[in-house]
Amino acid sequence: MAEKALEVKSLTKNIKNKVIVKDVSFSIEKGEIFGLLGPNGAGKTTIIRMIMSLIGRTDGSVIVNGYNLDTHFKESMSEMGAIVENPEFYKYMSGYKNLKHYANMATNEISEKKIEEVIRLVGLEKAVKQKVKTYSLGMRQRLGVAQALLHEPSLLVLDEPTNGLDPQGIREFRNYLRSLTKEGISVLVSSHLLSEMQLMCDRFAIIEDGSLVHISSIDLLNNQEELLQAVTFEVSDPAKAMELLKQHATGAEITESTDEQISLTVDKETTAKINRVLVENGIDVYRISVKATTLEDRFLELTGKDKQEVEDNAFIN
């Protein structure tokens, strides 16, 4: 039994003299949602297409649930299900008939029980007998996931799966992915919707200009004890507070100072120390505001992207 759902090693793609993807390596644990993040054109879709053998690799290897894509192509491909673009179906047929049609074309027999199982897993029991032309985009996405799961893959690969979904549809889709991981299925998902990926993923990798520039866990990002925080103190005497900070918080980075408040970048322990020093020296602390580090903050820090550019990209379909 393989320990990893997916291992990507030194994945590289050159087209003529241009490097599209350069020496990308990462792995995905079983039952994990792993995100590929980056702006449009960063190389996310190229990486996914190489993993799925939709395009060739210049260099590197792909191992799916222990099977090397080069030496055990059939076995490794059978371990993957994917939605690389918006799923297409016969719109005049019901969701059930579309799944049945796909099952009939599969290499291995897919039982009626399995079809019913995936329908239930993606929450389409009430709509599966309706024609696909009546489905919302979110329902078609779920039907696409059901189709991708019919042959019981260990890894589900999704490229920008929430494109075009409204906030409610995105939330529902996120919940469906979480239910899949409870069944032991791993998920590789690419997106440029940073706030959504922070809610969806267990770990993430940031891709920029075809290179992997950072890989980390969402838990670490959310753990304020491990990260610096943007902290604002609203105090009675900012000028005196500034003098005390210079004496007692030499490692703190002061980012802003006004007639009412002081903003710093500090860790959790230093925040408590500053508060204690201010109070002990007769300064009233009216409010302490903490801005948690977000995935967008980390993305901006690592890629140097302009904040407005990231916000604009977040709404490109």
Q: What pLDDT digit, counting tens, does each position of 122-164 carry?
A: 888 899 999 999 998 888 888 888 888 888 889 999 888 777 6
CA 9, CA 4: separation in Å to the nearest integer? 13
User: Which residue has tokens 């309706």?
Assistant: 130
Mean pLDDT lowest among 97-101, 170-174, 176-180, 219-223: 219-223
CA 25, CA 139: separation in Å to the nearest integer? 33
Q: Can you tell me the mean pLDDT for 190-214?
A: 85
Q: Which two tokens stand for residue 2?
A: 């393989």
Closest CA relative to residue 38, chosen from 47, 30, 29: 47
For the beta sheet containing 285-291, the strands, ordered from the edge strand earlier in sequence to the opposite edge, are: 253-257, 261-266, 229-235, 285-291
User: Which residue has tokens 């505001």?
Assistant: 289
- Residue 257, pLDDT > 90, answer no
313 pLDDT tier (thresholds 50, 70, 90): very low
Q: What is the DSSP letter of 94?
A: B
Say which CATH topology domain 229-291 has: Alpha-Beta Plaits (3.30.70)
Q: What is the pLDDT of residue 69?
A: 94
Domain spanning 4-222: which CATH class is it, in words?
A: alpha beta
Q: Residue length, the chain?
A: 317
- Residue 314, pLDDT > 60, answer no
H or E stretch covering 263: strand 261-266
Any idea where the domains of the chain sit in the sequence? Answer: 4-222, 229-291
Q: What is the pLDDT of residue 171?
A: 82
CA 249, CA 243: separation in Å to the nearest integer? 10
